Structure 1
Amino acid sequence: MNAVSIGPLVFDGARFAAVVGLLLFFVVVEIMARLQKGDAVRWAGFAVLAWIVAARMGFVAANWPVFAAHPLDALKLWQGGVLPAAGWAGGGAVLLVALLRKARRAALLLALGGAVAMAAHLAVTNALTRPPVTLPEEKLIALDGRGVQLAGRHRPVVLNLWATWCPPCRREMPMMTDLAAHTPGVEFVFANQGEDAGQVRAFLAAEKLSDQGMIRDPHGRLMGALGAVGLPSTLVFDAKGRLVAAHTGEISRAALTRMIGQASGDPR
């Protein structure tokens, strides 16, 4: 998976690349601003804020059918979901304003910092790209004790690695089980990591959630097989069992719907 673990902190690959790009942007602008007089740092703050707002608004607009049914989800920034192209457009708008206000020195530094940030983002993203991954040939355990084979399902599969002690796992589970019930042609598999059937059933009963697709991975083998570094981890495979998209951490309905669309060939 394209995730990074730094001590106790786990970053989704896309978020980690964005953080690296953002830090380098500020470093470049700060260094250059110290060499020259001007208010480039203030403009840099405006540019970053514009990037974040525009990128989020772009993502919400691109996935409006999902957000229309759950509008408050647009405020859940911790779940991820941005459209980088819209973000760069927002940052470019600040650059244009700087030019119109004749803050040419600040505009030059913003352009330089933006170029470095974009290059860093692409470099980190490429570095985190892993070899092709397929649905593991693992035999796991259903809640009733039956053996369950993961591979060979011949349809898109959403595989969620989770545990009842994991707060973001608990928060996203109602959304995921609801999406599973309303997404025909896609199989959802919820692989609990390291807990017994009683713990899983108790959580589902307390939250009034379906046990459809719930299985147990008592020894956490899937995390090693798939290179997962934290929970929750959500992986989407196409009908041939090939990994199409992955996300580490709490995921939004819109982001997961978009990943399913990639696996099924439906742009949604």
Structure 2
Amino acid sequence: MISVGPIPVYVILLAICLLLAWGVARILVVRSGTQSKAAGGLLLDAAFWGFVAARLAYLIQWREEYAQAPMSIIVIGDGGYLWWAGLLAAILYVFWKTRHTHCLRLPVLSGMVVGVLIWFSASHALLVMQRSTTALPDVQLSNLGHEPVSLSSYTGKPIVLNLWASWCPPCRREMPAFEQVAAQFPDTVFLMVNQGESRASIQQFLAAENLDLQHVLLDPSSSTMREVRARGLPTTLFFDAQGQLRDVHMGEITMAALKSKLSKHFAQVANDVSKQE
């Protein structure tokens, strides 16, 4: 996973984009002859309400999934945002706030454009770089039945690979979502690769939580975590049928975010499931 120490690089990228957008807005408003700090503040306010709108729109889109687990609404780190809704809300907010101060409108909107363009360009470049350096590792593991299993043997179908441990609270919270979504997406393989625990501990945990997960694998030496360069637990990786990385989610993932990523990266599989339902 790409990060700077414990901080995901996308968080740093977002901060940089906001800073650059703020700087562009301030420079343009000064050049226009208006000595005002209002442009920078207005841009940050617009960004805030844009994030709020993007989150609310996402909650509405996946309302059925969130209704099944209401507490997951507060897991704002699940990546649950509709960018276009947030951008539209931010633009409308700027137009409304500048209805009496038109001289601020163009500088603030220009700053927003710069920030958005940098965000999309840089995030796309990071994702391409990550995909090119990470593939489904050919790690030798074992299942709960003491049978040896190679991760590479699962290629041929889309794969969701989750790194977890029973002592990890976020891992425990997201397990029911994996159980339910796996049943709804039979053409996708969900690999639950435990990191560092014994077979007895894993079986005890699954029985206590009444979880029915089909592909639970043991990785006592945490070799999978090292191979994919994961920084912590839980981590969920999405591989296509050729074993190429499509997406990564660090931290707890909600049912809505899980379904959203499946729909985004494995659209054909998701469409087939929808037709069956």
Per the TM superposition, whether the score is higher than 0.5 is yes
Residue in structure 1 matched with residue 176 of structure 2 by the alignment: 174
> How far apart are residue 155 of structure 1 and its match?
1.9
Q: Which amino acid aligns with 1:192?
A: N
- Partner of residue 43, structure 1: 42
CA RMSD of aligned residues (A): 2.8
Instruction: Report the secondary structure of 1:152's partner residue.
Output: helix
After superposition, what is the alpha-carbon deviation per residue over 1:65-100, rounded to whole angstroms, capped at 9, x for unaligned? 54465566444323221121221111111121133x
- Structure 1 residues 225-248: Cα deviation after superposition (integer angstroms, max 9, x where no partner): 223222211112222323222211
Structure number having the greater helix percentage: 2
Alignment partner, residue 103 of structure 1: 101
Counterpart in the other structure of 2:59: 60
Deviation at 1:52, TM superposition (A): 0.7
SS at match of 2:152: coil
Q: Secondary structure in 1 aligned to 2:212?
A: coil
CA distance in 2, matches of 1:238, 1:188: 12
% same residue: 32
Unaligned runs of 5+ in 2: none
Matched residues, number: 263
Q: Normalising by structure 1, what TM-score?
A: 0.83
Is contact 2:174-2:253 (8 Å) kept?
Answer: yes
Aligned pairs (5 A) from 1:118-267: 118-129=116-127, 130=129, 131=132, 133-153=134-154, 154-261=156-263, 262-263=265-266, 265=268, 266=270
TM-score (structure 2 length as normaliser):
0.81
Q: Is the 8 A contact 1:156 1:264 kept in 2?
A: no
| Cα 1:231–1:66 shift into 2, 3 Å | same
Distance 1:5 1:168 in 2: 22
Local SS of the residue matching 1:108: helix
Q: In structure 1, what is the Cα distance between the partners aligned to 2:35 and 2:232? A: 44
Which structure ranks higher in relative contact order (CA pairs < 8 Å, sequence separation ≥ 6)? 1
Gaps of 5+ in 1: none
